[in-house]
Amino acid sequence: MIFHIGPTKPALVVLCCIGTWLAICSLSFGAPTPDQIKTILEILRHDSKQLYEDYIKREGGGVFENESLQLPCFTLGRGASANISVLKAYLEKVKVVDQDRTNTYNVTKRLEDISCTTPLELNIPGPDTSKFYECKSFILTVLKQFADCMAKLEFKNSVC
């Protein structure tokens, strides 16, 4: 019995090899495209503002920002990954201090999506959970500063 191989089998092998090579060697492999970054930043703007406004509605007034607490305003560029790690840690601490009533999962996930590297796992010191006012002030400060930062952020072509 004679099998006719023809040019299709070598062509498929070449296509598979080239496809794999392009996927591995491509500079943008795994990194978000500028359009994806722009979309994610718009979502982050909206979600950060919504988190802050929801907290104000739920907790009411009477709580003031903690002036001594300063979050880094994450910027696009080389320092983005470090700032994203710090912001993510603060947002996780908000979730813990507020006993999971403030859902920061979507925001932290979006921050990870635009990070070029895996964000570092940092442990941010938070207020003593038995001190009610300090906890409320910490949460308010983090959410407000994050929302303000996202509102001011200007999109550029790349995060990395």
DSSP string, 50-84: HHHHHHHHHH-SS----TT-------SSTTHHHHH
Tell me which residue range forms the domain holding 88: 33-152
0.85 surpassed by pTM: no
Residue 24 in domain = no
d(CA 14, CA 10): 6
User: Considering its fold, how many domains does the chain have in total?
Assistant: 1
User: 3-state DSSP: the chain helix, strand, coil percent, rounded to 5?
Assistant: 60, 0, 40
pLDDT of residue 35: 87
Q: Across the 160 residues of the chain, what is the mean pLDDT of every consecutive 10-residue run?
A: 54 45 44 84 95 90 84 76 89 92 92 80 86 92 94 68
Residue 159 in domain = no
pLDDT of residue 142: 95
d(CA 160, CA 156): 10
Residue 59 in domain = yes
Residue 118 in domain = yes
